[in-house]
Chain A
C-alpha cells in the first residue's frame, strides 16, 4: 500500500518534464524554401526528395489553416518556429551506441528506455527520435537476419530509395490537408520499417519521440510497409519537457499493408499536457493513416491519449483490399485544461471489408473531449460491416464530452451499427467499492480501468502495464 502511494506521489507530477541541456544545431528560424533546402541538405537527401518537399511546400502556400475543430488555439506563427533542431554530436552520425553522446544516453535512461542493448531483456527494438533526428536504433542486426529493415527514415531515403519512393506519400499525399502538407515539406526524421514477404516480425518495433529544444516544431514521419503475408506490431511513445510555451508536433504516419499482411500500431501518447492552469503543453496535430492495400490485410490502431494540451488526430484506415479489416481502439483522457478532438475514419472501398471502433473518453477538471469519426461505406463495398461504440465518462460539471460521428452508407448489402453513451461513475458503483475498503480514489481508478479494459487489452503487455498506470495518474486529483 505504502509502496503504491509512494509510486503515485512520484508520478504525480509530469515526471518526464525535465529538459536535457545539450548543444543544438538549428535551422534558421522561419518557414521558406531556404529552410527546406537546409533540412534536405543536412540530411544529405537525393534530389527527388528535395523536389517532393518543395512540391509540398508550393501546395502548402495555397492552403488555409483549418478551423472546424472543437478545441480552438491561438494562432500559430509558422515563421516563428525552428523547423530543425538536432544535438550537435549527431552531426556525424555515431556508428554505434558506444559513440553516442552520454547526455543522450542519460536522457533516455531517465525516460525509462536504456538504449544499450545489453540492458534490454524484453526484446523490443527501439528507434529513438530526439527533436529532429533519430539518435539510435537498437536490435538492428537481429532484425536484419530476418530481412526486416528498421531504421530512421532519413537513412532509408539514402539506402532504400526504391521503397521510400514507391510508398512515401502514397497514403498521405503531398496534396492532403494543411498540417499533413506542412509535414511533407519540412519533416525531419522518424522511423521506417519494411517487413518482407511472409515474415512475422520476431519482436515489437518501437519508436520513442522526444521533444527537447524549445521553440521547435517536431515534424516526424513514419512509414511502415508490411509486405505480403507479414506481421508487425509497432509501438510509439512520446514525451516532452515542461515549458510555458505551446509546442507544435505535426507528424505523419503512413502504414501500408499488402495481401494477407497485418500491422498493429499502438501509441501511448504522453506529451507534456501543460500545467494545472492550462499553460504550456504540446499541440499534437498528427495525421495517421493506414492503407489496407492488399486482400485480407488488417490494420489495427490502438491509442492511449493522456498527454498534450490539444490532441487533434484521427488515425484512419482505408480498406481498399477485399476482405480487409480495420480496427481502432482508443482511450482518451483529458484533465485540467486539456482538450482533445480525436477519433477515426474507416473508409470502406473493397468487398467484405470489416471495421470496428471502440472509443472510450474520460474528461475531468475543465477539460473538453470530442470523439469525431467517419464511417463511409462506398457503393462498391458489398457486404461490409462496421461496428462503432463510443462511451464517454464525465467527472464534474466543468468539463465537456462530445460525440460527432459521421455515418455514410451507400451500399444496401452493408451494415453499420453505432452506439454511444455518456454517463458518470454511478454512486452505486462507488459505494460498493468503498464498502469493501477502497478509498474513493482507488475506487474511481478501479472503475475507470474497468471502463477502459476493452482497449487496454489490445495493447502489448509491456505497454498495457504502463498505460494502466498512466490512466490512474492522469485522473489524479479529479475526484472528490
Chain B
C-alpha cells in the first residue's frame, strides 16, 4: 500500500497546481498516515469495526489518485424534486458546483482554504489521509444574523467510471452570531467499492443554529467514513440526524464541543440494515462549561446478518456543573445472524449533573404482535407496523418539518 500511496501522491502533486505551503502540509500528513495506516481493531475506537479488514474484504487494493483536472458533467436528474434548495455538488470528490441561488449573495462567503491543516482533538489516521489527498477545501461562512431561507443539499455523487478508489473531501462551515443553516448530505452512487472519507468542521458562534441531516439510503457497495466536528459557543444549537442504511460499511463520527453556556447538542440516528452491512455511529459530546445540554437517541432495526455498533460518550468536565446529558440506544434484532454492539460511556468529573444512559436490544415484542394479530392484521403487517412506530420515534425528533417529510418519504414511513 505504501508504494501505491506514494505513487498516487506524486501524481496529485504533479497535476494539481498547489502552493509550496500546501505541498508541505500534504507531505507531512501523508507521512503521518503511512506511519499509522488504516485504523484497526487494536485501537479502542475501532474495536467493533476493523476498517483495515473491512477495506481489504470489501474493496481489496485501493488507489488514491483521482483525476481532478477535468470537470465532470453534473447530472441534474439526481436533484431532489419538490424542495427548493441550495446545492453543493461533489462528483468523485471534486467540487463541481456551489450554488446559493436562493440566498442573499453578500451574506454568504465562500473561502478557499486549502492551505490549512485539519486538526481535531480526537484524531485518527483518517484525518491525515484526508489532509494529504483532498483537492480543494472550501469554507462556507454565513454572516452575522443571516438565516438561510432554504436548506443546503450536498450531493455526493460518483460517475460509474471509478472503482476501488479512495475519495477524500472536506468542508468547513462558520456560522456567525445569530445565523442558521440546514445542511442535508445526500449520497447518490452509480459506482461501487470506493472508500469515501469525509471531514466536516462546523464552527458555531453565539446563538447560531446548525441542523445537519445525513441520509445514506440508496443500496450501494461503498465503504464510508464521515467525521463531523462541531464547536459550539454560547446558546448555540446543533442538531444531527443520521439515517444509516445503504452502504456496505458506514461509520459516522460526531465530535461535539460545548464550549459556551447554554449550548445544546442533539444527535439522533437510525440504523436500518440488511444483508451483511456493518454500520457504526460514534458520538463524543464534551460538556466543557456549565449549563449545557445534550440528547442522543439511536434506534436500530437489523435484518439478516447485519451488524450495528453504537459508541456514545458523554464527557463532563469538572467545570461543567448543571450538565444535562442523556443517551438512549435501542435495537431490534430480527434475525439470528444479526448483531448489535453498544458502548455507551459516561466520563464525569462534576457532581451537580444529571447524566444517564440506557441501552436495550432484543427481539420484537411477541405480545405486541399477538395484540395486533388478534385485531385482524397478519404477521407481516403487524411486524411492519411495530417497526414503523419504533423508527418513527426518531424521525419525529427532526425539528424541521419540511425535512422531516422528506426523510419520511425516503424511508417509507407511514403515519
Segment of B120-128, B210-218, B245-253, B333-341 in the binding face: B333-341
User: 6 interchain pairs (CB within 8 A)?
Assistant: A397-B350, A399-B351, A403-B346, A406-B343, A407-B340, A418-B342
Q: Which residue of the partner chain A has the closest CB to B332?
A: A412
Decide if A399 touches B358 in the complex (CB within 8 Å): no
Q: Could you list which residues of chain B lie within 8 angstroms of chain A, going by C-beta atoms? A: 44, 318, 321, 331, 333-363
Task: Determine whether the beta carbon of B351 is less than 8 Å from that of A412.
Answer: no
A417 nearest CB neighbor, chain B only: B360
Do A405 and B362 form a contact, CB below 8 Å, given A412-B335, A412-B336?
no
List A residues 377-408 near B (Cβ within 8 Å): 379, 392, 394-408
Q: Other than A395-B351, A419-B358, give 19 A-B pairs with Cβ distance below 8 A.
A: A68-B44, A397-B352, A401-B346, A403-B344, A404-B343, A405-B344, A406-B341, A407-B342, A408-B339, A409-B340, A409-B361, A412-B362, A415-B361, A415-B362, A415-B363, A416-B362, A422-B355, A422-B356, A424-B351
Instruction: Say whether A399 contacts B339, CB under 8 Å.
Output: no
Within 8 A of B (CB), among A395-453: 395-424
Check A416 against B359 for contact (C-beta < 8 Å): yes
Q: Which residues of A contact B (CB under 8 A)?
A: 68, 379, 392, 394-424
Which residues of A have CB within 8 Å of B335? 412
Do the beta carbons of A379 and B336 come within 8 Å of each other? yes
Within the complex, the shortest CB–CB distance from B311 to chain A, in Å, comes to: 10
Query: Could you tell me if A394 and B350 are in contact, using CB atoms closer than 8 angstroms?
Result: yes
Q: Name A418's contact: one of B338, B347, B348, B359 (CB within 8 Å).
A: B359
A406 — which chain B residues lie within 8 A by C-beta?
A: 341-343
Q: Report the 10 A-B pairs with minimum CB-CB distance, sorted nearest first.
A: A415-B362, A412-B333, A394-B351, A407-B342, A418-B359, A403-B346, A421-B356, A409-B361, A424-B351, A422-B355
CB-based nearest A residue for B330: A417
CA distance A399 to B340 in the complex (A): 33
Q: Are B349 and A410 in contact (CB under 8 A)?
A: no
Q: Which residue from A68, A395, A402, A408 sits with its C-beta under 8 Å from B348?
A: A402
User: Complex formed: what's the CA distance from A293 to B362 in Å?
Assistant: 25
**Chain A residue at minimal CB-CB distance from B341:** A408
User: Closest approach, in angstroms, between the C-beta of B175 and any C-beta of chain A?
Assistant: 31
Given A422-B356, A424-B351, check contact A409 B333 (CB 8 Å). yes
Q: Which residues of A contact B360 (CB under 8 A)?
A: 415-418
A407 proximity list for chain B (CB < 8 A): 340-344, 359, 361
Q: For the complex, what is the distance from the CA of A402 to the CA of B314, rounded to whole Å?
A: 10
* In the bound complex, CA of A416 to CA of B330 (Å): 10
Neighbour of A397 across the interface among B321, B331, B333, B362, CB < 8 A: B321
Rounded to whole angstroms, the CA-CA distance of A399 and B316 in the bound complex is 12
**Cβ B350 vs Cβ A420 within 8 A:** no
CB distance from B287 to the nearest CB of A (A): 12
In the complex, are the beta carbons of B363 and A398 less than 8 A apart? no
Q: Given known contacts A394-B351, A422-B355, A424-B351, is B343 in contact with A405 (CB within 8 Å)? A: yes
With beta carbons under 8 angstroms apart, the residue of B333, B346, B358 that contacts A411 is B333
CB distance from A411 to the nearest CB of B (A): 7
With CB as the reference atom, state the residue of chain B lying closest to A418: B359
A342 vs B140: C-alpha distance when bound (angstroms): 47
Chain B residues with CB under 8 Å of A420's CB are 344, 346, 356-358
Instruction: Report Cα–Cα, A417/B353, bound state, in Å.
Output: 23
CB closest chain-B residue, reference A369: B348
Shortest CB–CB separation between residue A23 and chain B, in angstroms? Answer: 48
Q: CB-CB < 8 A to A404: which residues of B?
A: 343, 345-346
> How far in angstroms is the closest Cβ of chain A from B300?
11
A411 in contact with B351 given A397-B318, A422-B346 (CB within 8 Å): no
Which A residues are in CB contact (< 8 Å) with B358?
A: 417-420
Q: Which chain A positions have C-beta within 8 A of B347?
A: 400, 402
B257 shortest CB reach to chain A, Å: 19
* Closest residue on chain B to residue A380 by CB atoms: B336
A412 interface neighbour in B44, B342, B352, B363, Cβ under 8 Å: B363
The interface residues of chain B lying within 8 Å CB-to-CB of A402 are: 345-348
Complex alpha-carbon distance, A420 and B361, angstroms = 15
Q: A410, B353: Cβ atoms under 8 Å?
A: no
- Tell me the smallest distance from the CB of B340 to a CB of chain A, in Å: 5
* Chain A residue at minimum C-beta to C-beta distance from B313: A404
User: B349 to A400, Cβ gap below 8 A?
Assistant: yes
Residues of B within 8 A of A397 (CB): 318, 321, 349-352
Residues of A within 8 A of B346 (CB): 392, 401-404, 420, 422
Q: Out of A401, A409, A412, A422, name the residue touching B334 (CB < 8 Å).
A: A412
CB neighbours (8 Å) of B352 from chain A are 397, 424
Residue of B nearest to A388 (CB): B359
Question: Looking at the complex, which one of A399, A415, A416, A424 makes contact with B349 (CB distance below 8 Å)?
Answer: A399
Contact B348 A422 (CB under 8 A): yes
Q: How far is the CB of B194 from chain A (nearest CB, A)?
A: 29
Question: Is B348's CB under 8 angstroms from A401's CB?
Answer: yes
CA distance A422 to B352 in the complex (A): 9
**Looking across the interface, which residue of chain A has its beta carbon closest to that of B340?**
A409
Contact B363 A413 (CB under 8 A): yes
Residues of A within 8 A of B357 (CB): 403, 418-420
Given contacts A410-B339, A422-B356, A398 and B361 within 8 Å (CB-CB): no
List chain A residues, Cβ under 8 A from B351.
394-397, 399, 424
A400→B348 contact, CB < 8 A? yes
Q: Are B321 and A419 in contact (CB under 8 A)?
A: no
Question: How far is it, in angstroms, between the C-alpha of A7 and the C-alpha of B44 when the chains are bound?
Answer: 47
Q: What is the bound-complex CA distance between A392 and B314, given in angstroms?
A: 14
Q: Please, which residues of chain A bring their CB within 8 A of the CB of B341?
A: 406-409
Chain B positions within 8 Å of A395 at CB level: 351
